[in-house]
Amino acid sequence: MQIYVCVKHVPDSAAALTFVDNSRIDENVTFLLNPYDEHAVTEAVRIRDLVPGSEAVAVCLGNEDAEKTVRSALAMGADRGILVTGGEGCDSIATARALKAAIESDGSPSLIFTGRQSIDAEGWQTMFRLGALFGFPAVTNAVKLELENDKVVVESKLAGGVSNIYEMHMPCVIGAGRRLNTPGYPTFPDIVRSKKKIVEKIRLSGLETAKTS
């Protein structure tokens, strides 16, 4: 089983942000792995460990510095990473298209995890746009997940304390909520091992060329 987890390189919420124009921030601040994506990585690794022969692959669209975020996912247990560069300023539609192209060029997903939202844009759209592009069912704010043969049963938390239960055939897309798990933060040996794992770097223009050729 190939499990992909989409991660985002975001500014630290504790950092003092300065805007350099109406759409960009001064990037001379600390960036890190989006906190909601920590739950997505943790769940991807848990499922990987449940199903023999599986792998968990972290995928990110960002600048060169975003390799740090991919390495963070690897330190948390992901097997390898893919970093798509050259997509600065992409909106949620372009981001989903880039992530889809990167995943398709790498393999055949059974599960795709994202965080339920990013702490910078907070659009809540990526998992649904990925699902639409792939033609996969998608659910967000997952707080419980169980595998049942070729299906997953997901409890999704809604507003007002209401929950829905969804049964989806794989492949599917799942946006992880904070109550899904407790992230396993890496130890120093985990960080050392993560530096030896593979991070494939792909230019977004190369993915677009491959898609149209």
pLDDT of residue 25: 56
Angle CA(4)–CA(5)–CA(7) in degrees, nearest 5?
145
DSSP H stretches of helix in 51-186: 67-75, 92-106, 126-134
145 token code pair: 């997940």
pLDDT digits (tens, 9 = 90+) for 64-82: 999 999 999 999 999 999 9
pLDDT of residue 113: 98
Of 2, 116, 9, the C-alpha closest to 71 is: 9
| Cβ partners under 8 Å of residue 138, min gap 6 | 127, 128, 130, 131, 132, 172, 173, 174, 175
pLDDT digits (tens, 9 = 90+) for 120-163: 766 668 899 999 999 999 999 999 999 998 999 999 998 778 89
